[in-house]
């Protein structure tokens, strides 16, 4: 099949899932055309069957605000025409699903191209419900030939929040379990924890929804009981405030902010515990990446997290903001090596048995085929 993928190219779960899906589909022999404003971050080496089409943004003084959605629609129409696209797959509803709809309208009877929209989370739970977007998001959900959501929770939240009746296919996020697997004691671990301290880790875009400050408070409590270090990976609006907080709590020499990183399997391999105290999470891809590397996760019970983390088996789940409980769970796992070994093995096993790339990508292929 000839498949166009429209996504955000920068850091963030939806762009990562879209890019990894494109790479896996290309590997299975499909021609994949990424259409976006910059080369997707994870598209970092040559692979056969993969193409990238950049959306140009005209700069004219009259256009005080960028008209990205419209430029994107024109580009999708162009690529669809010249590459004979069978499918255009929009990841994240705003504005991609709307641009895909527009592109199909532009082509009219010239194309039989079908549109697929994958909902990732904040496009529904946060931004999509904003009155300035709601009618547009509902419209694009109704008009897509197929809609998928990355968890059961998100499918239900979409039906309830937007009052839509149509079928929403649940296709979970996935992980390359060969790439994401625990490596033996890494040089990074020796540098971060020279006295063999435990390493707690968190990866996110440091937006308010991730509650990174809770991560730091949890760590402060854990450090009272267990010699440990906290490694924070990623960047975003809350980072400066979190740096300030760790100084204020007097733990800054034990907290390392690494910024954006690409060598995630190596970094995760050094972790003893992953923390995800989010306020909202449709799935929690970073938790799955950790689990695949055998790292148990302590998280909140929000959104789709309980579909990924099995409480008492692969990690622990607590109420939003219950820092004491999350710290208690963390200490329990870090001080009981038998339990840690069991949870670590369970986490890896769940990643393999439920979320391995080879199990999930064919679900997208079948969906495309059913539309054609």
Q: Tell whether residue 284 is a contact of ligand GMT (CB under 6 A).
A: yes
Tell me the per-residue interface mask from 159 to 188 with ligand GMT, x by CB under 6 A, - otherwise: --------------x---------------
Q: In the range 192-231, which residues lie near ligand GMT by CB under 6 A?
A: 205, 207, 209
Rg of the chain, C-alpha, whole Å: 21
Q: In the range 339-358, which residues lie near ligand GMT by CB under 6 A?
A: none
Q: Tell whether residue 275 is a contact of ligand GMT (CB under 6 A).
A: no
Phi (first) and psi of residue 186, to 5 degrees: -90, 155
Q: In the range 107-136, which residues lie near ligand GMT by CB under 6 A?
A: 120-122
Taking the least distance from each CB to ligand GMT, the nearer of 128 and 265 is: 128
* Angle, in degrees to the nearest 10, between helices 337-355 and 357-371: 20
d(CA 340, CA 329): 11
Among 4, 9, 13, 265, binds ligand GMT (CB under 6 A): 13
**Beta carbon of residue 144, minimum distance to ligand GMT (angstroms, whole number):** 17
d(CA 34, CA 63): 26
Tell me the per-residue interface mask from 289 to 308 with ligand GMT, x by CB under 6 A, - otherwise: --------------------
Tokens at 68, concatenated: 């990205």
Count of CB atoms within 10 A of residue 161's CB? 16
**Beta carbon of residue 237, minimum distance to ligand GMT (angstroms, whole number):** 12
Q: In the range 15-34, which residues lie near ligand GMT by CB under 6 A?
A: 15, 17
Phi (first) and psi of residue 153, to 5 degrees: -55, -45
Among 93, 103, 285, 327, binds ligand GMT (CB under 6 A): 285
**Beta carbon of residue 141, minimum distance to ligand GMT (angstroms, whole number):** 16
Taking the least distance from each CB to ligand GMT, the nearer of 282 and 357 is: 282
Among 12, 22, 277, 294, binds ligand GMT (CB under 6 A): 12
- CB burial class (10 A; 0-12, 13-18, 19+) of residue 109? exposed
Give the strand pairing for 50-54 and 255-259: unpaired
The residues that bridge with 90 in the sheet, in sequence order, are: 6, 117
Taking the least distance from each CB to ligand GMT, the nearer of 104 and 210 is: 210
Question: How many residues contact ligand GMT, by CB under 6 A?
Answer: 20
Taking the least distance from each CB to ligand GMT, the nearer of 80 and 149 is: 149
Among 34, 92, 274, 355, binds ligand GMT (CB under 6 A): 92
**Beta carbon of residue 214, minimum distance to ligand GMT (angstroms, whole number):** 14
- B/e letters for 309-333, b = 16+ CB within 10 Å, e = fewer, are bbeeebbbbbeeebbebbbbbbbeb
Nearest to 359 by CA among 348, 371, 351: 351
Sequence-distant (6+) residues with CB within 8 A of 282 are 119, 120, 121, 122, 124, 125, 149, 150, 151, 153, 154, 157, 303, 304
User: For residues 272 and 293, is the Cβ–Cβ distance under 8 A?
Assistant: no
Among 137, 150, 192, 295, binds ligand GMT (CB under 6 A): 150
d(CA 18, CA 23): 9
Q: Residue numbers of the site for ligand GMT (CB under 6 A)?
A: 12-15, 17, 92, 120-122, 150, 173, 205, 207, 209, 280-285
């Amino acid at each position: 099949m000839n498949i166009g993928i429209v996504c955000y190219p920068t850091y963030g779960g939806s762009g990562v899932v879209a890019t990894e899906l494109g790479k896996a589909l290309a590997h299975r022999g499909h021609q994949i055309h990424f259409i976006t404003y910059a080369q997707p971050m994870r598209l970092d080496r040559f692979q056969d069957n993969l193409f990238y089409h950049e959306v140009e943004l005209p700069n004219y003084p009259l256009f005080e605000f960028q008209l990205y959605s419209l430029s994107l629609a024109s580009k999708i129409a162009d690529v669809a025409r010249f590459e004979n696209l069978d499918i255009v797959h929009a990841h994240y509803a705003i504005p991609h699903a709307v641009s895909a709809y527009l592109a199909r309208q532009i082509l009219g009877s010239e194309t039989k191209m079908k549109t697929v929209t994958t909902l990732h989370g904040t496009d529904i739970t946060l931004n999509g419900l904003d009155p300035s977007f709601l009618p547009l998001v509902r419209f694009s959900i109704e008009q897509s030939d197929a809609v998928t959501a990355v968890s059961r929770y998100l499918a239900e939240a979409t039906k309830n929040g937007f009052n839509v009746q149509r079928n929403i296919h649940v296709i979970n996020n996935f992980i390359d379990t060969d790439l994401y697997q625990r490596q033996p004691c890494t040089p990074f671990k020796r540098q971060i924890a020279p006295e063999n301290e435990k390493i707690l880790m968190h990866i996110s875009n440091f937006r308010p929804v991730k509650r990174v400050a809770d991560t730091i408070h949890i760590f402060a409590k854990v450090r009272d009981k267990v010699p440990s270090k906290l490694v924070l990976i990623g960047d975003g609006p809350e980072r400066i405030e979190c740096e300030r907080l760790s100084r204020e709590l007097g733990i800054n020499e034990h907290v390392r902010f690494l910024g954006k990183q690409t060598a995630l399997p190596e970094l995760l391999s050094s972790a003893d515990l992953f923390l995800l105290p989010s306020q909202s999470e449709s799935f929690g891809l970073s938790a799955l990446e950790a689990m695949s590397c055998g790292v148990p996760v302590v998280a909140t019970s929000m959104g789709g997290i309980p579909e990924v983390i099995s409480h008492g088996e692969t990690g622990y789940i607590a109420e939003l903001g219950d820092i004491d409980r999350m710290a208690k769970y963390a200490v329990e796992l870090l001080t009981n090596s038998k339990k840690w070994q069991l949870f670590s093995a369970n986490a890896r096993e769940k990643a393999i048995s439920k979320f391995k790339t080879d199990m999930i990508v064919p679900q997208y292929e079948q969906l495309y085929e059913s539309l054609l």
